Structure 1
């Protein structure tokens, strides 16, 4: 039995360089405008049998604006960044350069006192593996780009360092198909189905 999980990256609530670890800010006007520009292409995903989202304000707002009425999933929350929560990467680097270097180099490290990259990838992968399996079942999940990157690393059984090489754009879609332990990245035609990594 196989299912399809299409991840939709939440709209941005800030400029890329102002992205903060575990950002709880709601969508700003630019984010709402971005959703409106692509809504026509993404609204059809609301036909999925199951609809989920990360528990962040912008993921919920993105899902609601697209008509998904998604159920928030704690397992789809962003990586726990401990004392770096709310900081930009630049701010964390200015305060603790050696700790940031260690965190970027070792997926098991937790210099911030939160969750390791490896634990984050495993948590998101565990969520993916425990989705109800019905042949042909379609799931849509609106999530933070980092959550989607973690899901892709897990699904492809890639080394954790691959996480840093994936770029997930806001409101892009990425589909994985399969079942627990056997996932494939799926590229489909059409703007709402296109997988961009």
Structure 2
């Protein structure tokens, strides 16, 4: 028994330099344009038996624009960034440079007063491991890029510090096939999205 989980990174809600921790902003004009450019390749994912999204406005809007009609999953929320919520990385660095350095260097640090990166990865992995394994069942989830990175670290059983080595672009996909505790990363041809 196995399940196939395709993760789609939500389209942009702001430029890369303007991204904020725990950002609740909706898709911006560039994000809508990105969805329109790639929708033809991602719309077939709507055939998945189960369709989920992070509870953020841009994840929901991305899923809706792709015709997924996804169900918001609180477990797929972004990492709780504590007192840095709403700040850019630059703003947090200007206010608390030592705390930012500690957070970037140690995945078990909660220097911001929120959720340590290692716990965030485990939370996302817990969601992944509780997906129903219906031999060959398909699931699609639109989530923040941070959530996709966390899922990849968990599925590959990597050290939490490798989280920083995954560059997840808006509307990129990653497919995990397996079941609780045993996941494989699958790369599909551009034409084979379902």
Question: Aligning the two structures, in what range does the TM-score lie when normalised by the shorter sequence?
Answer: over 0.9
Pairing 1:70–2:64 present: no
Residues 19-38 of structure 1: pairs in structure 2 closer than 5 A: 19-38=19-38
Residues 51-130 of structure 1: pairs in structure 2 closer than 5 A: 51-130=51-130
CA shift, 1:193, in A, is: 3.0
Distance in 2 (alpha carbons) for counterparts of 1:149 and 1:27: 20
CA shift, 1:82, in A, is: 0.4
Partner of 1:133: 133
Q: Is the 8 A contact 2:51 2:68 kept in 1?
A: yes
Question: Could you say what secondary structure the match of 1:141 adopts?
Answer: strand
Aligned residues: 194
Question: Could you say what secondary structure the match of 2:142 adopts?
Answer: strand
Q: Which runs of 5+ in 2 are unaligned?
A: none
* TM-score when normalising by structure 2: 0.98
Q: Is the 8 A contact 1:173 1:192 kept in 2?
A: no
Partner of 2:172: 172
Distance in 1 (alpha carbons) for counterparts of 2:86 and 2:148: 20
CA shift, 1:69, in A, is: 0.3
Question: Could you say what secondary structure the match of 2:138 adopts?
Answer: strand
* TM-score when normalising by structure 1: 0.96
Pairing 1:7–2:7 present: yes
CA shift, 1:33, in A, is: 1.1
Distance in 1 (alpha carbons) for counterparts of 2:21 and 2:192: 28
Which consecutive segments of 4 or more residues in structure 1 shift more than 6 A?
none
Aligned-CA RMSD value: 1.1
Partner of 2:151: 151
Residues 175-186 of structure 1: pairs in structure 2 closer than 5 A: 175-186=175-186
CA shift, 1:192, in A, is: 5.9
Q: Is the 8 A contact 1:12 1:27 kept in 2?
A: yes
Question: Could you say what secondary structure the match of 1:63 adopts?
Answer: helix
Partner of 2:46: 46
CA displacement 1:157-190 (0-9 Å, x = unmatched)? 0010100010001001100100000001011112
Distance in 1 (alpha carbons) for counterparts of 2:172 and 2:191: 9
